[in-house]
């Protein structure tokens, strides 16, 4: 008798533990974003201005869920403001806008739990060991970093693009959250989860070719749409190309049509609809030799 009662209580406790987070999420989603938060999204996520009402509503819902599920931590004395939370959530959820269908809760960066925000570029010690066993310690300036253990680290200065010399087409939030999507497949290797073998074959063919071309461009100091930072590894290529897909979609589509096609299938949205087509075509590669030197 006592055992049956204990078993029932245990079953009830397990049911409550399973239902409670779902109930909390439903309750959070039932409360719309405050008008000030909606205004922040329109101000700090430029793509929102070109969206239709249905897309805006879906993005706001994703942002509500993001703010409910993810924890923000200020670092180096920074106090995380509502502007920081809404801006980072809004840009991160852009990557999921086409992929999250329906009105129910979406799978929203399931591996991620915490976003650490620094006021500016942060220094991280790096250790490299060469063939002869010599250990070199360096301290590298970082704008952002994505960890496989569920953390993303961002510099707020760079999120709000306070550093003016930064070239157009860059977005550190899109970059780090592309790494998160990439890591969901089990390997952060430039190929996120795509589903079918055919999709992987086509992805690998197109991205390998454009990655090799970018490496050649970087070697000869030629500049096209994609930042040379993407030539450092296939994972960085995917993150850099994702920045361009959302920030300079017309230029990317014109210069890398096959790559743009693969991203259309993956992100299931066409960011060209949010921006007027630029009057001038993307510039031809030049030999100015200017390099974008910070890490992310
Ligand atoms: Zn990166």
For 170-213, write each residue's pLDDT tens digit.
899 999 999 999 998 888 899 999 988 999 999 999 999 999 99
d(CA 103, CA 58): 8
Q: What is the pLDDT of residue 209?
A: 97
Q: What is the pLDDT of residue 285?
A: 53
Report how far ligand 1's centroid is from the alpha carbon of 240 (Å).
7
How large is the average pLDDT for residues 219-241? Answer: 93
Q: What is the pLDDT of residue 201?
A: 96
Whether the pLDDT of residue 164 is over 60: the answer is no
Q: What is the pLDDT of residue 162?
A: 46
Q: Quick one: pLDDT band at residue 5, thresholds 50, 70, 90? A: confident
How large is the average pLDDT for residues 108-126? Answer: 86
Least confident of 35-39, 163-167, 290-294: 290-294
Longest Cα–Cα distance in the chain: 83
For 120, the 3-state DSSP assignment is coil
Report how far ligand 1's centroid is from the alpha carbon of 163 (Å).
18
Least confident of 27-31, 60-64, 169-173, 269-273: 27-31
Report how far ligand 1's centroid is from the alpha carbon of 27 (Å).
35
For 193, other C-beta atoms within 10 Å of its C-beta total 12
Q: Quick one: pLDDT band at residue 39, thresholds 50, 70, 90? A: very high
| pLDDT digits 0-9 by tens, 275-292 | 888 876 555 554 444 333
Report how far ligand 1's centroid is from the alpha carbon of 237 (Å).
8
Domain ranges of the chain: 30-274
Whether the pLDDT of residue 28 is over 80: the answer is no
Least confident of 78-87, 124-133, 148-157: 124-133
Q: Which residue has the higher pLDDT, 103 or 124?
A: 124
Report how far ligand 1's centroid is from the alpha carbon of 50 (Å).
27
Q: What is the pLDDT of residue 22?
A: 72
Contacts of 2 (CB under 8 A, 6+ apart): none
For 64, other C-beta atoms within 10 Å of its C-beta total 21
Q: What is the pLDDT of residue 100?
A: 77
For 134, other C-beta atoms within 10 Å of its C-beta total 8
Whether the pLDDT of residue 253 is over 90: the answer is yes
Report how far ligand 1's centroid is from the alpha carbon of 162 (Å).
19
Q: What is the pLDDT of residue 163?
A: 47
Report how far ligand 1's centroid is from the alpha carbon of 107 (Å).
22
How large is the average pLDDT for residues 238-248? Answer: 95
d(CA 176, CA 292): 17
How large is the average pLDDT for residues 247-254? Answer: 95
Q: Quick one: pLDDT band at residue 160, thresholds 50, 70, 90? A: confident
295, 126 Cβ separation under 8 angstroms: no
d(CA 248, CA 295): 21
Report how far ligand 1's centroid is from the alpha carbon of 36 (Å).
31
30-274: CATH topology is Collagenase (Catalytic Domain) (3.40.390)
d(CA 92, CA 107): 13
| pLDDT digits 0-9 by tens, 47-77 | 999 999 999 999 999 999 999 999 999 999 9
Q: What does the DSSP 8-state code read for residue 272? A: G
């Amino acid at each position: 008798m006592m055992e049956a009662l204990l078993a029932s209580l245990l079953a009830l406790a397990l049911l409550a533990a399973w239902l409670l987070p779902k109930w909390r999420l439903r309750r959070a989603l039932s409360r719309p974003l405050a008008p000030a938060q909606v205004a922040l999204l329109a101000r700090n996520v430029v793509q929102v201005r070109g969206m239709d009402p249905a897309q805006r509503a879906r993005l706001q819902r994703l942002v509500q869920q993001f703010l409910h599920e993810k924890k923000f931590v200020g670092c180096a004395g920074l106090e995380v403001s509502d502007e920081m939370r809404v801006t980072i959530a809004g840009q991160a959820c852009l990557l999921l806008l086409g992929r999250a269908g329906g009105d129910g809760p979406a799978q929203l960066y399931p591996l991620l739990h915490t976003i650490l925000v620094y006021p500016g570029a942060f220094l991280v010690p790096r250790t490299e060991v060469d063939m002869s066993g010599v250990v070199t310690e360096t301290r590298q300036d970082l704008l952002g970093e994505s960890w496989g253990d569920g953390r993303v680290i961002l510099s707020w200065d760079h999120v709000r693009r306070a550093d003016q010399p930064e070239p157009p087409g860059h977005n550190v939030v899109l970059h780090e959250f592309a790494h998160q999507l990439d890591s969901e497949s089990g390997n952060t290797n430039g190929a996120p989860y795509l589903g079918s073998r055919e999709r992987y074959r086509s992805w690998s063919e197109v991205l390998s070719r454009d990655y090799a071309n970018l490496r050649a461009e970087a070697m000869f100091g030629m500049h096209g749409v994609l930042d040379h930072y993407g030539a450092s590894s296939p994972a960085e290529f995917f993150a850099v190309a994702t920045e361009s897909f959302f920030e300079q979609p017309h230029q990317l589509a014109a210069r890398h049509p096959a790559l743009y096609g693969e991203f259309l299938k993956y992100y299931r949205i066409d960011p060209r609809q949010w921006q007027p087509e630029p009057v001038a075509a993307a510039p031809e590669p030049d030999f100015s030799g200017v390099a974008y030197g910070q890490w992310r």
